[in-house]
């Protein structure tokens, strides 16, 4: 029997005996894959949610993190709103209008409860939310515009129309043409408003928009508890009948809420692309205002801070834990091979007697260690992406977050050379034991 046949038989026997060790290596690598991919998905999600506009103008009483969380991600308690008159500075002949390409108001404070007690935010806004602002960028840097999978956008003149994000439509079961009643506040026990008709359902975007229920701001204002007290002497407050009731001048439609009684939670501001310093100018003027009615926030900077201060440290902790699993698996490989050296001493001595050098025998043991690690790594990568492939449609269906299970990250490419180096280090001790095998003593003892 030749040296190479004996060597291969030895490796094959040990590989079969070390299947459990390889499994633990595979699980460790699979966990690393999951951590890397999930982290990249969340980073991409955060970045996409803050695309399409340069500034968010929110309430002055609160932190900029609260402004971004409530306006972009629709989570948390909305900040105290500011007067509608401040929003008008960004449109028409307003102070900031020359620096603005689009300004979309947002009104928060309502929700919709499903039968399983899951709550979705109801956002009062204007149709420009889906026409004037893109929801993200494609891989080539081109803007992505909202599309409707069913129905259409709501119209300004139709006060009680609504558009649903893809996830909200799926979870609530609401279809185009159906009606629903928002709840005032974020708890199921609060007062219900007048019903809205679903006129459109957005195609999936992979952003927080998918989880929102968007209603015509005019109808939102007419809900109970949404109007500021009427001011005496206000020009638009003296008309009759009351807001929401039919008006002769407006046919059979409801009378809109007077502007003096309106409030806005935040404004999404898309700056004039012809003025590179527009965002800096608006941010400076708004934030330096003496009355501090509102504050202007650059959402991308806040998202980057959230990533740096929260997501990245969490990723590091998870990676450390998964790397420790791989290290433990590597130590198992070391122990398994080292403990087998006494059983394999005869094969090693025969290989030496057939002319194999000490270095060749040492190389056989190192190759065995490397093969075990690489096979575990390959199985782990396949297992990790297979888990993502199974989970991806479920995650997208319930959260709107798009997961591409078979997209490989550049960090994964470092796993193979890293594991080869680690396996070589792990196999060094048993390889040195094989290197020192005494051929005469071993073969003599075998007789």
Residues 301-317 pLDDT 10s: 888 887 787 777 877 87
- 107 vs 19: which has the higher pLDDT: 107
Pick from 148-157, 223-232, 353-362, 401-410: least confident: 353-362
* 294: phi then psi, degrees, rounded to nearest 5: -145, 175
C-alpha distances in Å from residue 210, one per residue of 158, 166, 176: 23, 5, 16
Helices (H), 94-181: 166-172
Give mean pLDDT, residues 332-338. 66
Give mean pLDDT, residues 374-383. 81
Q: Does 87 have pLDDT greater than 90? A: yes
Give mean pLDDT, residues 371-382. 79
pLDDT, averaged across the chain: 78
Instruction: Give pLDDT, residue 51.
Output: 78
Instruction: Give pLDDT, residue 325.
Output: 72
Res. 438 pLDDT band, cuts 50 70 90:
low
Q: What is the DSSP letter of 308?
A: I
Residues 88-131 pLDDT 10s: 999 989 999 999 999 999 999 888 988 777 789 999 999 999 99
- 31 vs 348: which has the higher pLDDT: 31
- pLDDT > 70: percent of the chain: 71
Number of neighbours of residue 228 by Cβ within 10 angstroms = 15
The DSSP bridge partners found for residue 58 are 266, 295
CA distance linking residue 407 with residue 397, whole number of Å: 19
**Helices 415-426 and 358-399: angle between axes, nearest 10 degrees:** 140
CA distance linking residue 133 with residue 139, whole number of Å: 18
The DSSP bridge partners found for residue 364 are none
List the structure tokens of 311.
């997501």
Give mean pLDDT, residues 160-181. 92
Reading phi first (left if > 0) and then psi (alpha if -120 to 50, else beta), residue 18 is in alpha
CA distance linking residue 26 with residue 28, whole number of Å: 5
Instruction: Give pLDDT, residue 439.
Output: 53
Pick from 188-192, 268-272, 286-290, 328-332: least confident: 188-192
Q: What is the DSSP letter of 310?
A: I
- 289 vs 445: which has the higher pLDDT: 289
The number of residues making up the chain comes to 447
Q: Answer for the pair 108, 78: CB distance below 8 angstroms, yes or no.
A: yes
Helices (H), 207-311: 217-221, 278-287, 299-306
SS3 of residue 205 by DSSP: coil
Residues 216-273 pLDDT 10s: 999 999 988 888 887 665 555 444 445 545 544 445 668 899 999 999 999 999 999 9
Pick from 87-91, 201-205, 273-277, 377-381: least confident: 377-381
Q: Does 168 have pLDDT greater than 50? A: yes
* 144: phi then psi, degrees, rounded to nearest 5: -105, 125
Q: Answer for the pair 170, 202: CB distance below 8 angstroms, yes or no.
A: no
Give mean pLDDT, residues 338-352. 61
Give mean pLDDT, residues 395-408. 70
Instruction: Give pLDDT, residue 351.
Output: 63
Q: Does 1 have pLDDT greater than 70? A: no
Number of neighbours of residue 207 by Cβ within 10 angstroms = 25
Q: Answer for the pair 364, 430: CB distance below 8 angstroms, yes or no.
A: no
- 420 vs 343: which has the higher pLDDT: 420
């Amino acid at each position: 029997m030749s040296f190479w046949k004996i060597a291969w038989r030895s490796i094959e026997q040990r590989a079969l005996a070390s299947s459990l060790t390889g499994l633990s290596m595979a699980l460790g690598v699979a966990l690393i894959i999951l951590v890397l991919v999930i982290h990249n998905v969340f980073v991409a999600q955060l970045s996409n949610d803050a695309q399409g506009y340069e500034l968010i103008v929110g309430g002055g009483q609160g932190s900029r993190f609260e402004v971004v969380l409530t306006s972009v991600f629709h989570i948390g308690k909305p900040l105290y709103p500011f007067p509608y008159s401040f929003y008008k500075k960004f449109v028409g002949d307003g102070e900031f209008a020359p620096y603005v390409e689009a300004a979309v108001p947002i009104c928060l404070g309502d929700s919709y409860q499903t039968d399983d007690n899951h709550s979705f935010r109801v956002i009062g806004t204007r149709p420009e939310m889906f026409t004037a602002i893109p929801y993200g960028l494609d891989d080539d840097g081109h803007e992505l515009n909202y599309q409707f999978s069913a129905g259409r956008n709501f119209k300004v003149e139709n006060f009680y129309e609504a558009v649903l994000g893809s996830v909200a439509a799926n979870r609530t079961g609401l279809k185009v043409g159906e009606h629903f009643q928002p709840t005032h506040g974020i708890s199921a026990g609060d007062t219900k408003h007048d019903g809205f008709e679903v006129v459109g359902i957005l195609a999936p975007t992979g952003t927080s928009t998918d989880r929102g229920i968007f209603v015509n701001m005019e109808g939102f204002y007419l809900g109970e508890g949404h109007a500021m007290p009427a001011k005496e002497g206000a020009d638009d407050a003296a008309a009759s009948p009351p807001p929401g009731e039919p008006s002769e001048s407006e046919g059979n439609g409801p009378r809109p809420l007077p502007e003096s009684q309106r409030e806005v939670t935040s404004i999404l501001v898309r700056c004039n692309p012809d003025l590179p310093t527009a965002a800096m100018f608006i941010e400076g003027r708004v934030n330096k205002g003496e009355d501090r009615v509102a504050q202007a926030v650059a959402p991308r900077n806040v998202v980057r801070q959230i990533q740096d201060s929260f997501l990245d440290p969490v990723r590091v902790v998870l990676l450390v834990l998964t790397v420790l699993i791989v290290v433990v698996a590597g130590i198992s490989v070391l122990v398994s091979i080292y403990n087998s050296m006494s059983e394999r001493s005869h094969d090693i001595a025969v290989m030496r007697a057939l002319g194999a050098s000490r270095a060749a025998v040492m190389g056989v043991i190192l190759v065995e260690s490397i093969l075990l690690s690489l096979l575990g790594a390959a199985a782990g990568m396949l297992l990790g992406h297979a888990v993502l492939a199974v989970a991806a449609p479920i995650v997208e269906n319930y959260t709107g977050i798009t997961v591409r299970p078979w997209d490989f990250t550049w960090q994964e490419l470092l796993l193979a050379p890293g594991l080869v180096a680690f396996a070589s280090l792990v196999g060094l001790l048993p390889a040195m034991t094989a290197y020192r095998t005494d051929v005469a003593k071993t073969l003599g003892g075998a007789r």
